[in-house]
Amino acid sequence: MNEAADKALYQGVQRTLVGGMILSFGLMGLGLLGLILDPAAGARATQVVPLDRLPGALLALDPAALLDLGVLALMFIPVVHLAVALLNFVRRREPRYAVAALVVLALLAGSAILAFTRH
C-alpha cells in the first residue's frame, strides 16, 4: 500500500460519511419541520411507514416518511463505505482486502434479503 492510494481510500470513505450524514440529517430535519408545521401529522409519526408505502407517503409529503427515509439513509452509510473501499481495493489490485469487503457486503445483502422476505 502506498501513501497516495491510502489517502484516496480515506478521502472516498470520508466523502461517503459526510455526504450520507448531510443527506440523512437533512431528511430528518425536513421531517421534523413538517411535524412542526402540521401537528396532526404527529399521530402518524408514532409508527414506521412500511417500505411498500414509503414512496407514496413521500410523494404525499408525509413528515413521518421523511423521518423514516432519513433513518434508512443513515443505516445505509456503512454499505456505501464498504462499496467505496471495495472499489479502491480492486483498483489497487489488493485481492485480500477486496475479497474481505465483498464477503462483508454479501453478508449484509443476505441479512437484508432474509429480513425483507421472512415474516
- C-alpha dihedral sign at 87, 89, 92, 93: negative
What is the rounded distance in angstroms from the CA atom of residue 85 to the CA atom of residue 17? Answer: 12
Predicted TM-score (pTM) of this structure: 0.77
pLDDT tens readout for residues 76-89: 998 998 998 899 89
Find, among 95, 101, 36, 97, the residue nearest to 63 by Cα. 36
Cβ(41)–Cβ(64) under 8 Å?
yes
Residue 20 in this model has a pLDDT that exceeds 70: yes
Q: What pLDDT does residue 1 have?
A: 54
pLDDT tens readout for residues 30-50: 999 988 888 777 777 777 888
Cell of residue 39, nine digits: 401537528
What is the rounded distance in angstroms from the CA atom of residue 103 to the CA atom of residue 97? Answer: 10
Average pLDDT over residues 85-110: 92
Average pLDDT over residues 99-114: 92
